[in-house]
Amino acid sequence: MDGCIFCKIASGEIPSNTIYEDDDFRVILDLGPATKGHALVLPKAHYADLFEIPEETLAGAAAVGKKVAATMKKTLGCDGLNLVQNNGEAAGQTVMHFHLHVIPRYKNDGQHILWKPTSPTPEELVAIRDEILKG
């Protein structure tokens, strides 16, 4: 897509620190990493987000993320790993080309990727379930 920076990076038009590439995906190091090794799985085709990406491409991105995660566990010796995928500004998406974050985690790395839990009542949970399911 014209003007999309991740399209240009995925195609190789803009150089990146690539750690994996195949016909459909490129995995690059994030320029503003949360931790050492933070990478982004980019499909080479343009999809804005989870709602646009076809299921088989999503499955492919997950498989590539798994491969890269296994490599990082071995080579970086991370203690854990988050897969994160943001959709929409409200969820923190800043680049509107689908990407899967692969974030190696280290004990005491000082990052805050997990959420703050809330405490709905059992009745509120039932109401939320019903709202989701009402179609």
38, 99, 101, 112: which is the annotated catalytic residue? 99
Instruction: Choose among 16, 12, 35: nearest CA to 84.
Output: 35
Residue count at the site for Zn ion (CB under 5 A)? 6
72 is in the binding site of which of Zn ion, ligand AMP, none (Cβ under 5 to 8 A by kind)? none
CB of 121 to ligand AMP, least distance (A): 32
* Contact set for ligand AMP, span 1-60 (CB under 6 A): 5, 16, 28, 30-32, 40
- β pairing state of 80-84 and 39-43: unpaired
Whether 112 is catalytic is no
* Three-state helix/strand/coil letters over 59-101: HHHHHHHHHHHHHHHHHCCCCEEEEECCCCHHHCCCCCCCCEE
- Please give the positions annotated as active site: 99
Which positions lie near Zn ion, rule CB under 5 A? Answer: 1, 4, 6-7, 46, 97
